[in-house]
Structure 1
Amino acid sequence: MRRPIIVAFFSFALMACQVLAAERGALFKVSGHGHTLYLYGTIHAGKPDYYPLEPHIAKAVAAAPTLALEVDTARDPGAVQAAFARHGVFAAGSPGYAGLPGERRRRLEAALKQQGVDLAAVMQLKPWMLATMLTVRDLARLGYDPAFGVDAHLAGLARGKARIAELESSEYQAALLDRLPLAMQWDLLEETLAHMASGRQLREARELFEAYERADRQALERIAARIDSDDSVSGKFVREIVLDERNGPMAERLAALLARDDNAVAAIGLMHLLGKGGVPVLLRQRGMQVERIY
């Protein structure tokens, strides 16, 4: 009697682990050129309980000859830091915050103080860089840590077993963020601080992460629709530069990867996969078959 009981116990335990390894984000199967590519929507911060990954994506990564990421940040951390320092810090001699009109500078100082930030400590950071750091800090308040980002976890699984390809570079990403004219960067920073003060930033971040955690298609499409209609400075920048401008080149590189490799996996930010300008739509337009698994 004991052996069947033990077998049943371990079967139950296995099923429980599979339930705990819930579907998260979005997963697509892309077919073309006689090959298959799995396209997974990731999130760049996370929690320890995100892992182990659910079976679909875990098996796909284990069998993949290539894992394509936006950037493999662990490959050369020094290059990542150098790129963001080059584009995210004011050059020596730049007036920076001191060049702002007095009223606007006082307004920013008050807003930063409200968030517990000493302006003197961030004087060298360009506004886009400071806005990005404030956003990451808000994620930490919700319990999400970049150290547990899904991209980094997937890279760890694949390293030494598969080729890790980069669809972009840290230099490209940092230069893209820095392309916003300085006047608009100040607007972006003020808008970010206003959204932090009102609670909007935390609310929308929580909404995105919860939608990722449940692989909630309807919630994700609502978020994509909101971004499509958001005409604020940050909304336009995210839609036009962070997403739309990058989606086309990423789709081209993924199409080339599909032509070359069978069963490759590509893991990119979840928002790149959603909406009418998302990468899956662009791949369909290029003649590939795209099936959404979840």
Structure 2
Amino acid sequence: MTRLGGPPRATYVSRGVALAGWLLGCLLITFAITLDAASPVTPRAVALRPLPLVVPEPGESPPGANLPFYEARKGDMTIYVMGTLHVGKPDDYPFRKVVVDALRVSAVVAFELSPDDLTMSQDDVQKYGMCPRACLPRLIPAPLWRKLRARLKGNPAMLSEIRHMRPWLAALLVETLDSMGADLQTEYGTENQLENIYRGRIVGLESLAEQMDAFTGLTSAQQNELLAQELVLTPKTATAQVEELHRLWRAGDAELVFDWSQSKAAQVRRNVALADAIDERILYSRNRRFLARMLFLADPGKPVFVAIGTLHLGGPHGVLQLLREHGFSVAQR
């Protein structure tokens, strides 16, 4: 649902909530909403902690999955770009040798958010995404509230909790439930696993405030559209969509993921104008910012490794195409 794919595509279907279809984008990392171990129905925002990951020497064992990985070159400047999922499975790893080798020669690694910002995300989620009283039923149209209530009728504790959320955060929670139905876990998100094996400097392509503003700055109508899109598909169908996204990501081709996002968007968008405005705010403007900061980090002879949501990469206005437009040759590895 969160927009984590490529930048503006005026001639393409607006992805609306579909873009990340659950997961991907940055919000699942930034605002990781997981289930409390003590109470499997209570959502809470947490700072993610990497799990141990053994990286075998070449020839020891096959890689876990292909995963989208690209090399962009312009003169003596090199930017490695990996498309991530912010949730995953243990058998998605280890990384391929070409990825590990790129990490070893990179002067800096850039995520959407720096690890330091990520550890501070919980307070901001509470501050900007939650209400002290049950606010959601009065912030959204009555038909939308009834639909959400029906979706969570078998989970009264979750329904009670979501009453205190603003619409944008409620939409992310519904999306997260779909990813959990596909047995995907934040612990196995790509950034967590990269952090396990990279010992150098890790920076963010945007600040926590910038990322939060992308969602908190949505109008009421846009937030309602965001939530409405998450409720179009049945839980079973939504989970199947997440499973398909995960499969395509493992195949390692960002353009296939882009095509998937277009197909899903056509199914879930409710209001084209609102969906386009959401795309511009939480996807396209962020992609342009990512590119600008990638170029700022790039120096001759000092490769940069960038790991951002896979849906940021593909399509005619994706980050890969933006790199080409800035004179980089881009090759899939």
Q: TM-score, normalised by structure 2?
A: 0.73
Q: CA deviation at 1:67?
A: 0.4
Equivalent in the alignment of 2:176? 136
Equivalent in the alignment of 1:150? 190
Residue identity matched to 1:204: Q
Q: CA deviation at 1:79?
A: 1.6
Greater shift after overlay, 265-274 or 136-145?
136-145
Q: CA deviation at 1:194?
A: 3.0
Residue identity matched to 1:220: V
Counterpart contact for 1:243–1:271, Cα < 8 Å:
no
Q: CA deviation at 1:178?
A: 1.9
Query: Distance in 2 between the 1:101 and 1:251 partners?
Result: 37
Q: CA deviation at 1:243?
A: 2.2
Equivalent in the alignment of 2:229? 191
Q: Map of 1:1-294 to 2, 5 A cutoff?
A: 15=59, 17-18=61-62, 20-24=63-67, 26-73=68-115, 75-90=116-131, 92=132, 95-98=135-138, 104-114=144-154, 118-158=158-198, 161-197=199-235, 199-216=236-253, 219-226=256-263, 231-232=269-270, 236=276, 239-259=279-299, 262-293=302-333
How much identity, in percent, do the aligned residues show?
24
Change (3 A) 1:101 1:152: closer
Q: CA deviation at 1:283?
A: 1.3
Counterpart contact for 1:42–1:269, Cα < 8 Å:
yes
Change (3 A) 1:102 1:68: closer
Q: Deviations for 1:250-279, whole angstroms, at most 9, x for unmatched residues?
A: 111111212366122111111111101111
Q: CA deviation at 1:119?
A: 3.0
Q: CA deviation at 1:289?
A: 2.1
Query: Distance in 2 between the 1:254 and 1:227 partners?
Result: 29
Q: CA deviation at 1:96?
A: 3.9
Counterpart contact for 1:37–1:264, Cα < 8 Å:
yes
Q: Secondary structure at the match of 2:299?
A: helix
Moved over 6 A (4+): none
Unmatched runs of 5 consecutive residues or more in structure 1: 1-12
Query: Distance in 2 between the 1:221 and 1:98 partners?
Result: 35
Q: CA deviation at 1:174?
A: 1.8
Counterpart contact for 1:44–1:149, Cα < 8 Å:
yes
Unmatched runs of 5 consecutive residues or more in structure 2: 1-56
Counterpart contact for 2:225–2:270, Cα < 8 Å:
no
Between Structure 1 and Structure 2, which shows a larger proportion of helix residues?
1
Greater shift after overlay, 266-275 or 223-232?
223-232
Q: Secondary structure at the match of 1:143?
A: coil
Q: Secondary structure at the match of 1:124?
A: coil
Aligned length: 274
Q: Deviations for 1:234-261, whole angstroms, at most 9, x for unmatched residues?
A: 9546633332121111111111212366
Query: Distance in 2 between the 1:186 and 1:228 partners?
Result: 16
Q: CA deviation at 1:218?
A: 5.9
Q: TM-score, normalised by structure 1?
A: 0.81
Query: Distance in 2 between the 1:115 and 1:196 partners?
Result: 15
Residue identity matched to 2:65: A
Equivalent in the alignment of 1:4? none
Residue identity matched to 1:191: Q
Q: CA deviation at 1:103?
A: 5.2
Note the aligned Cα RMSD (angstroms): 2.8
